[in-house]
Amino acid sequence: MQLYVAMIEFAAEDQWHSKYCICIQYFVQSQIYLVAPDAVCSDTEPMRTQDALFANDAFYLAFAARDLDHMDALWARESPVICLHPGWPALTRREQILESWARILSNPAQQPIDVYGAAAFNLGTNIAVICYEEVDGNVMVATNLFVEEKDRVLLACHQAGPCGQPPPRD
């Protein structure tokens, strides 16, 4: 629940900025509905770390909501893409990646994910977000790499693996 509250506060603080990340959410009868989950950048300004952090939140909201359409909307279409799920072979085609998410999101045994400790790192034209994913008491460290395509902040790489010494929660 903390993730959703943080996103609402962020949207309220930054709604008039030219690079406002559009990720409107609302709750109806305990259901999560995501509307336009794409971060948008202006033509004249590069992607900012907070744009990538917001897109990262949208990624985990789509995961929590088991929403494949929004997961699809968050992945890059023109840039090369990579996805490394723990225990899976490397996925390097968009179709493979979306098929993997379809399997994960439709799996009734998939435990809820709790994300914390997100930090963004500017890598020139791309931004990496490092965060921690807790699933069923196990913590993984994840790297999500965001690129800009047609003024949108999109996910180009997701990698998660076991973390033997996760940091404490804030």
- Please name each of the domains of the chain with its CATH number: 2-162 (3.10.450.50)
**pLDDT recorded at residue 72:** 97
CB burial class (10 A; 0-12, 13-18, 19+) of residue 61? buried
Rounded average pLDDT per 10-residue block, the chain, 170 residues: 37 35 34 43 64 94 94 97 96 98 96 94 94 94 95 95 91
- Which token pair is 32? 């999560």
pLDDT of residue 68: 96
Q: What is the pLDDT of residue 45?
A: 56
Tell me, what's the pLDDT at 169?
A: 86
The H-assigned helical ranges of 24-151 are 49-65, 68-74, 94-106
